Amino acid sequence: MGTDGRQVVDDRAIPGGAAAAGGIAAVNESRQAGFELAHLFQLGAHLVQMHLRQVAHFLAGAVAIFEQFDQVLDLPDRKAEIAAALDEG
């Protein structure tokens, strides 16, 4: 360990020395940044999907309420029917 708490790596342990290690780290960091960006796009897609579901559920509820209201308006136009016992004979 170094004096600042970071691990010290012997340059001879990595072919090419510290320069190669820096290149490996840069490639790794760029890949990690790419994965994080992909996760952000995925999050955005999930949020859009969630909002579209909410809109669809709201519209479905509005249609159901409208249909019930329409049925209530049709009540005065119905014919009266007399209840009769079932013919089980």
- For the chain, give every domain's residue range: 11-76
In sequence order, the 6+-apart residues with CB closer than 8 A to the CB of 20 are: 14
Q: So what's the pLDDT on residue 11?
A: 52
Distance between first and last Cα of the chain: 99
Q: Which of residues 47 and 86 earns the better pLDDT score? A: 47
Among 8, 37, 5, 3, residue whose Cα is nearest residue 21: 8
Cβ-proximal residues to 21 (8 Å cutoff; 6+ apart), any chain: 9, 11, 14
Please state the pTM of the whole predicted model: 0.40
pLDDT for 43 equals 92
Say yes or no to pLDDT of 86 above 80.
no
Question: How do residues 14-24 score in pLDDT, each as one tens digit?
Answer: 555 555 556 67
